[in-house]
Amino acid sequence: MTAVLQVSNLRKTFGGITAVDGVSFEVRDGEILGIIGPNGSGKSTLFNCVLGQLLPTGGQVHVDGKPTTGMRPCDLNRLGVSRTFQLLQVFPQLSVRDNLIVAGQEHQGSMYTRLFGRADAGLGDAADRMIEFFRLSHLADEQAGSLSYGQQKLLDAAMAFMAGPRLVLLDEPAGGVNLTMLANLRERLQAYHSEHKATFVVIEHQMEFVMALCTRVLVLAEGRIIAGGAPQEIRSNPAVIDAYLGHGSARP
């Protein structure tokens, strides 16, 4: 069975600096893969190369067996890959509901049929269901920019799920979120995962979040994968501990 996501020998250099140095891995259907590593290990660069936000210097990316290296993010999204962002998450002046409708509308028909179709592109009910799932119902008509940071993170995830994607890449979903909201976010992600049999890839710093959510973990250091396996194995892997301690970060 072909992997949902297959990254082969991906390389990315900026001038003289090699941020990603020959990374290869596969993501199987239905798993939640975590990618961790100290600062500067190349996690975000790897993500952006997979998602078409950056053009890789070398290597290939395949989604469901189809080559997608260097594809524009919007085309990749229409193949069923979506993402959340560390920063810049929502459309501040649109309402929460409108944010979700935007998130799904490009998958409804063609650009031209949408012009003459319904104003909400037929997504009003789906948006309301998503709002309810993420427990944002009381904020449905509020401007997204007025939401608290944690609520915007939930909205960000909701937007990524709106089009029913095959694969979701989450970029530091727990960053800057308080503990209560974090537990809520993790719980909602797990609920979505089990309901829809979705496949996730998560970059994160926060160990508790990764250990609790992910089924498998890869560790990146200096642009290369240095370890991979179940969360508990990784925790006690000496190479991993070394990578973190060697960079002065806290022990995982």
Partner 1 sequence: MASFIQLLVSGLATGAIYALIAVGFTLLWQTSQTINFAQGEFVMLPAFFILSAMNWGAPFWLAALIGIALSVAILGLLFKIIIVDPMLRHGVLPLVISTIALSLFLKESVKDFYSSQAQPFPALVPSTDIHIFDAVISTQSLAVLAVAIVTVVALQVLLNKTRVGRCMQATAQNPTLARILGIPTRRMVLYTFLINGVLVAVASILVSPIYLAKFTNGETLGMAAFVAAIIGGYNQVRGAILGGVILGILDNLSAAYVSSQYRGAFPLLVLIAVILLRPQGLFGRIEERTV
Partner 2 sequence: MNRLGIIVVGAAVIFAIAVPFFLKPFGIYLISMWAVLTIAAMGLNLTLGYAGQISLAQGAFVGIGAYTTALLIQAGWPYPIVFISAGLLCFAIGWGLGYPALRVQHHYLAFVTLAFTTLVFLVLRNEEWLTRGIYGISGIARPTLLGWSTANARDFYFFCLGALTVIAAATWWMLRSPWGRAFIALRENPIRALSLGLDTRRYTLMAFAIGSGLAGLSGALYAPLVQFIEPNSFALGLSFNLLLMVIVGGGGCFFGPFVGALVAVLLPEWMRITQSYYLMVYAAIVMLLLAFCPSGLLGLIERVIKATRGRRGPDGIAPNAERANP
Among 48, 82, 84, 99, the residue binding partner 1 under the rule CB under 8 A is 48
Q: Is the dihedral of CA 132, 194, 201, 221 positive or negative?
A: positive
Least separation in angstroms between residue 75's CB and partner 1 is 13
Determine, following the binding rule CB under 8 A, whether residue 223 of this chain makes contact with partner 1.
no
Helices (H), 162-237: 179-196, 207-213, 231-235
Stretch that binds partner 1, among 49-57, 99-107, 127-135, 229-237 (CB under 8 A): 49-57
Instruction: Indicate the helix (H) or strand (E) that contains 227.
Output: strand 224-229
Q: Work out the angle at residue 202's Cα, subtended by the Cα atoms of residues 173 and 1, and round it to the nearest 5 degrees.
A: 150
Nearer to partner 1, 56 or 165 (CB): 56
Contact residues toward partner 2 (CB under 8 A) are 51, 53, 72-74, 77-78, 82-83, 85, 88-94, 98, 101-103, 105-108, 111, 114-117, 119-121, 135-136, 138-139, 142-143, 145-148, 150-151, 154, 159, 162-163, 180-181, 184
Nearer to partner 2, 2 or 137 (CB): 137
Least separation in angstroms between residue 74's CB and partner 2 is 5
Q: What share of the chain is helix, strand, coil (3-state, %, to 5)?
A: 40, 25, 35
Residue type, 117: G
Strand pairing class (199-203; 167-171): parallel
For residues 152 and 100, the answer to whether their CB atoms sit within 8 Å is: no
Nearer to partner 2, 188 or 247 (CB): 188
Measured CA to CA, the distance from residue 105 to residue 238 in angstroms comes to 47
Chain center to CA of 44: 11
Among 18, 53, 69, 184, the residue binding partner 1 under the rule CB under 8 A is 53
Stretch that binds partner 1, among 48-56, 128-136, 138-146, 195-203 (CB under 8 A): 48-56
Q: Residues 54 to 73: which contact partner 1 by CB under 8 A?
A: 54-55
Tokens representing 104?
């799904």
Q: Where do contacts with partner 1 occur on this chain (CB under 8 A)?
A: 44, 48, 52-55
